[in-house]
Structures are given as structure tokens and as C-alpha cells.
Chains A and B, each alone.
Chain A
């Protein structure tokens, strides 16, 4: 079991560029989510999915898109990168919607210049 994997580990973008952060899990978890972590802010939910084909917005969705075509994969797309999107991004999965342990990926450190 690889658990939750994320690629890339590090990325530098120029303002206006787009990119996709990849997230995959091999635990057959229904629920997946994306967070960003900034100093002094805690983890904030960007988007989440309760199953293949179903996604919804979290607390800070602007500037990001997601899709969930399979149970395993939940990519996060930055449409037009801005310096305010410089952050550490974590993907997480859990057994189901509800009060279950969240398993986090190792994170992607993104810098937008």
C-alpha cells in the first residue's frame, strides 16, 4: 500500500501559468480532499469529493478546479497561478464522509513568482 501519493513534491510557477497537482490513493477511499497550509493559517479546505463524479467546494476554492473521474485519483488544477497561491498543498483521503481518520499525502510545495 502506497497510501496517498502526490506529485510533484516541489514546483515553481510564474504568475499566470497553469498546472495540475496530482493525487492518488490506493486504499479504495471514497472521500478525498485538497488542503492548503500557510503559516499562521492552519490547513484550509480547497475542494473535496465524496466519490467518483462528485466534487464540491471547500473554504477557499477560488482559482482551483478539481475533478474525480476515478475513485483513486483527485487532481487539483491551478487555472492561472498567482503569488497568493504560494503554499504547501496536501491531498487527503478517508474511508467515507464523516468522522474518519484522514490520510494525508506528503504534500506539494508550490512557489508562484
Chain B
């Protein structure tokens, strides 16, 4: 089983829609969680951290479910500019230098 798993998509949604992605992780000792965004043929960039209490940044909400070992990203009122691949990143306790990346979920927002 992969350490971090994501549905590759693509998720095709119309502008204005709400869309959610999940990311599951296999190691219960995982300590920190992030969402990165990667545009086509570009480098990944940090979108947001995921806290135990959940966090929100504008139209984006990230949540953590430790019991079921997944994190989620919710995007409300999707924009064309949200089209990208969203990478889930997990850091295991005791391996602070090593980030484990998921393969990403591709989102395509259409008119």
C-alpha cells in the first residue's frame, strides 16, 4: 500500500462549483500534513497546512481526520484559475526532513 494515496482524477467541475479531494495516509505516526498546488509543467507551491482543528483560507478549507487517516481539501466557488494538480504531503514523526508526496489530484475547472 502506498504511504500517501490520492485519486488522480481528473475532477472536471464547472466554474462556481464546490469540489472536495481526499488524501489517505497509511502510517498512523504521521504528524504534519500539507496541500501543495502544482500547475502544469511548473513547480509545486504550498497551498496550505492542515491542522488538527482544520483551517480555512478564503475559498479553501483543509481538514484532518486522524481516526480514518485522511486529509481533505474543499474548494468553494471554483475559479478557472484553480485548475491545477493538488498534491497531498505528509511528514512522519521522527523523519522531519522527509516529506512524502502523493501523486496528486488533477482539477479542471470549466466555463
Instruction: Given A41-B103, A43-B87, check contact A105 B43 (CB 8 Å).
Output: yes
Interface-side segment among A12-20, A61-69, A73-81, A93-101: A93-101
Residue B4 interfacial (CB < 8 Å): yes
Q: Is the CB of A42 within 8 A of B102?
A: yes
**Which residues on the B side are within 8 Å of A34 (C-beta)?**
none
Residues of chain A lying within 8 A (CB to CB) of residue B32: 99
User: B44 is contacted by which of A33, A45, A50, A104 (Cβ under 8 Å)?
Assistant: A104
| A28: min CB distance to chain B, Å | 18
Q: Are A90 and B43 in contact (CB under 8 A)?
A: yes
Chain B count of residues within 8 A CB distance of the other chain:
21
Taking CB atoms, residues of chain B closer than 8 Å to A33 are 97
Residue total for A at the interface (Cβ-Cβ under 8 A): 24
Given the known interface contacts A42-B101, A42-B102, A42-B103, the answer about A98 and B96 at a Cβ–Cβ threshold of 8 Å is yes
Is residue A102 contacting chain B, with contact meaning CB distance below 8 A?
A: yes
Structural contact, B44 and A43, CB atoms closer than 8 A: yes
Given contacts A42-B4, A42-B87, A42-B102, contact A97 B46 (CB under 8 A): no
Q: In the complex, are the beta carbons of A99 and B96 less than 8 A apart?
A: yes
Chain B, 96-111, CB within 8 A of any chain A CB:
96-99, 101-104
Contact of A97 among B44, B97, B103 (CB under 8 A): B97
A40 at the interface (CB under 8 A from B): yes
Tell me the residues in window 2-53 of chain A with beta carbons closer than 8 Å to chain B beta carbons. Answer: 31, 33, 35, 40-45, 48, 50
Known: A31-B97, A45-B99, A105-B43. 5 other contacts (CB 8 A): A42-B101, A43-B99, A90-B43, A104-B45, A107-B41
Q: Can you list 21 pairs linking A and B with CB atoms under 8 Å apart?
A: A31-B97, A35-B101, A40-B103, A42-B104, A43-B44, A43-B87, A45-B98, A48-B98, A50-B97, A56-B97, A58-B98, A59-B98, A90-B43, A97-B96, A99-B32, A99-B91, A101-B46, A102-B36, A102-B44, A106-B42, A107-B43
A-side residues, CB < 8 A to B, are 31, 33, 35, 40-45, 48, 50, 56, 58-59, 90, 97-99, 101-102, 104-107
